[in-house]
Amino acid sequence: MRRGFLTFLAMAAVIAVWAAKPKYVFVFVGDGMGMGHVMATETYNRTVLGNDDNILMMRFPVASMAMTYSASSPITDSAAAGTALATGSKTKNSMVGMSPDTVAVESVSHELKRKFGYGVGIVTSVCYDDATPATHFAHQANRKMYEEINRDGAESGFDFIAGANTLARNDKEKTARIFDGYRKNGYTVAGSIAELKAAKPGRKILLTAPYEEGAAQIGYTIDSISGAATLPELTRLCLDHLKEVSPKKFFMMVEAGNIDHAAHGNDGGAVVKEVLNFQEAIQIAYDFYLEHPDETLIVVTADHDTGGMTVGVDKGPAQPALKNIDCQRISKERFSDLCAKEGGDTWEAMKSLLSEKLGLWSHIQVNEMEEARMLESYGRMKAKAASTQKTLYKDFNEFTAIVFDILNHKTGFGFTTFSHTGNPVPVFAVGEGCEAFSDLNNNIEIPQKIRQLTGL
């Protein structure tokens, strides 16, 4: 009798836990953020910034990991991984919001809006119609079907969509049609934060915040671009808007897309600064959680690992020198552009530039062999005989590639590829129902758990 009563109490407790439904759901996706990227940032946080506490996401009570393979490959792309995280269904690489046999699959965000009237906000530091954000509102066979993806976005009814620009930005006629489609569906379309604030927007907002014409992202944190939007700033705008238009319940997906861009370029210093910037965005949601601890769920994860980043490299420093990151004042992308524009009239002028922008010689010792390697490549660059390092988002001149290879090595960062890997990714969670994410082993389980917790 006593045993039966205890069993009843245990079951009742389980039911009570699962009966509590989070009203506010935040999903943060560090695009390309593997555990190496997290540990590089945590090591910098501890050894350079001198913080005793771990970075915020590592302080969450739940920490697990998830495999990321797609239906077509052990190494996923962002479209297939985004579809898995948004819908709970595996699909083939390049497909957005569809099953492998091209049947539309619904995202948990869209389902929460359709069934329960949740407010929905989608925020990214890259193009808002890129793979990961698009999987929440689009159903297309290929991630490059930009006009069709945007047609789905305009019809989604989502309350706030923000990012750098449209991927169709280089086709002015197509871009005009895309933005007109949003306007016809009741969206306020703004090309900057200032424009948005001046527009007195309605319920539905599409915000593009490029830092320069043609940019595919809002700018790297390490570049400190004056006037550029930041991921925390966009996160705050989205949260404030949802609190106004849907105060009782909402869902937010925030993607730190610039982590992926930096990792594709094997720019270790920029990766760390982007993960820290990601933490600032998460902090905004965490502050909200502290005000609503029994009603809020926050999940932090990644779509895949990019670059295979490590702390520790063959024949590198015995103690990683992450203080070198503070000497880096420019991203690999902008440095490559700077070399193309200026190049330095002499090697001494280039050394001065390397000292100013990256701390080489002034703060970071350079040996004779390293200087000879750079000097030889500099000569080829000046003679326009240098090769090119091709990566997904940027083609780097050979000189820049060699400089950053040396910088990474001296800092203690290693990379295995310029592309994605099949490594698992971290999952961190806090808030109502977070225990459900403690035993994950696959990315499709994340939206499946959110469905269970919210009663879908």
**Predicted local confidence at residue 340, as pLDDT:** 80
Tokens of 411: 């800092």
**Predicted local confidence at residue 73, as pLDDT:** 98
Q: Which residue has the higher pLDDT, 82 or 210?
A: 82
Q: Does residue 239 have a pLDDT over 90?
A: yes
Q: Does residue 7 have a pLDDT over 60?
A: no
Q: In the beta sheet, which residues pair with residue 66?
A: 425
**Predicted local confidence at residue 19, as pLDDT:** 56
- Residues that constitute the known binding site for Mg(2+): 31, 130, 132, 255
Rounded to 10 degrees, the C-alpha dihedral 216/221/224/229 comes to: 60
State the pLDDT confidence band at 440, using cuts at 50, 70 and 90: confident
How many angstroms separate the CA atoms of 185 and 180, rounded? 9
Q: Does residue 237 have a pLDDT over 90?
A: yes
Cα 108 to the chain's mean position, in Å? 19
**Mean pLDDT (whole number) for 411-434:** 98
Task: Record the pTM.
Answer: 0.95
How many angstroms separate the CA atoms of 403 and 386, rounded? 14
**Predicted local confidence at residue 14, as pLDDT:** 41
If you ran DSSP here, which 8-state letter would residue 32 be given? T
Tokens of 298: 């926050």
Burial classification of residue 324, based on how many CB atoms lie within 10 Å of its CB (0-12 exposed, 13-18 middle, 19 or more buried) = buried
**Mean pLDDT (whole number) for 86-99:** 98
Q: Does residue 1 have a pLDDT over 60?
A: no
Number of H helices, E strands in the chain: 16, 15
Distances (CA, A) of 143 to 96, 132, 207, 217: 6, 10, 20, 17
Span 323-370, pLDDT tens digits: 999 999 999 999 999 988 876 789 999 999 999 999 999 999 999 999
Q: Does residue 215 have a pLDDT over 90?
A: no
Q: What residues are annotated to the active site?
A: 78
**Mean pLDDT (whole number) for 184-196:** 96
Average pLDDT, rounded, for the chain: 94
**Predicted local confidence at residue 5, as pLDDT:** 47
How many angstroms separate the CA atoms of 270 and 453, rounded? 36
- Residues that constitute the known binding site for Zn(2+): 31, 260, 264, 303-304, 420
Q: Does residue 82 have a pLDDT over 50?
A: yes
Distances (CA, A) of 312 to 27, 137, 331: 30, 40, 21
Tokens of 107: 């995202």
**Mean pLDDT (whole number) for 47-71:** 98
Q: Does residue 91 have a pLDDT over 80?
A: yes
State the pLDDT confidence band at 212, using cuts at 50, 70 and 90: confident
Q: Does residue 2 have a pLDDT over 60?
A: no
**Predicted local confidence at residue 16, as pLDDT:** 45
Distances (CA, A) of 387 to 174, 265, 330, 349: 34, 16, 22, 22
Element (H, E) at 399: helix 398-411
- Residues that constitute the known binding site: 31, 130, 132, 255, 260, 264, 303-304, 420
Q: Give φ, ψ of 344 to 5 degrees.
A: 75, 120
